[in-house]
């Protein structure tokens, strides 16, 4: 092999090594972004499940004839749970509001859940840090009847 050919082989080898390093850095960046997106999705699903379970808990209390079951939901709404903190750093509040002002017997339960950092300040997560779920209820007799989830 000639001396010039050996130099060209070294240059090509170095270029291929550089390309491989760039490809490896790109793959690592892509993997990190996918892991962050997965964690954000898990946080959002956990938040949705927390809000839905609180809505179902409030609905079961209204269906079973709890302390507020005999009441008709007032026009301005009422707070069933003012604000409660959970162990995993979330805050939940539950309100009951009339679904339609013309029909005071029908109501909805609105649950708001949001993620809070350990220091008390809202934590920024890639997915939604606040979530609302709504459930429809109808007044029947001394209690309410569950009609399902609202969009």
Where along the chain do its domains lie? 3-150
Q: What is the mean pLDDT of residues 93-109?
A: 77
Q: What is the pTM of this model?
A: 0.67
Rg, the chain, Cα only: 28
Q: What is the mean pLDDT of residues 77-103?
A: 79
User: Could you give the 3-state DSSP secondary structure of residue 128?
Assistant: coil
pLDDT single digits (tens) 36-61: 888 878 888 888 898 999 999 888 88
Binning pLDDT at 50, 70 and 90, where does residue 126 land? very low
């Amino acid at each position: 092999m000639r001396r010039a050919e050996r130099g060209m082989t070294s240059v090509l080898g170095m270029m291929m090594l550089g390309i491989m390093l760039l490809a490896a850095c790109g793959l690592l960046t892509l993997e990190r972004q996918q892991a962050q997106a997965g964690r954000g999705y898990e946080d959002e699903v956990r938040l949705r499940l927390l809000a839905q379970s609180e809505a179902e808990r409030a609905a079961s209390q209204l269906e079973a004839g709890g302390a507020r079951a005999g009441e008709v939901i007032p026009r301005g709404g009422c707070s069933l749970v003012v604000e409660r903190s959970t162990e995993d750093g979330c805050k939940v509040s539950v309100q009951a509001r009339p679904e339609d002002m013309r029909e005071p017997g029908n109501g909805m339960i609105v649950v708001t859940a949001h993620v809070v950092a350990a220091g008390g300040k809202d934590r920024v997560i890639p997915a939604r840090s606040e979530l609302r779920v709504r459930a429809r209820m109808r007044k029947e007799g001394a209690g309410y009847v569950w009609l399902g989830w609202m969009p």
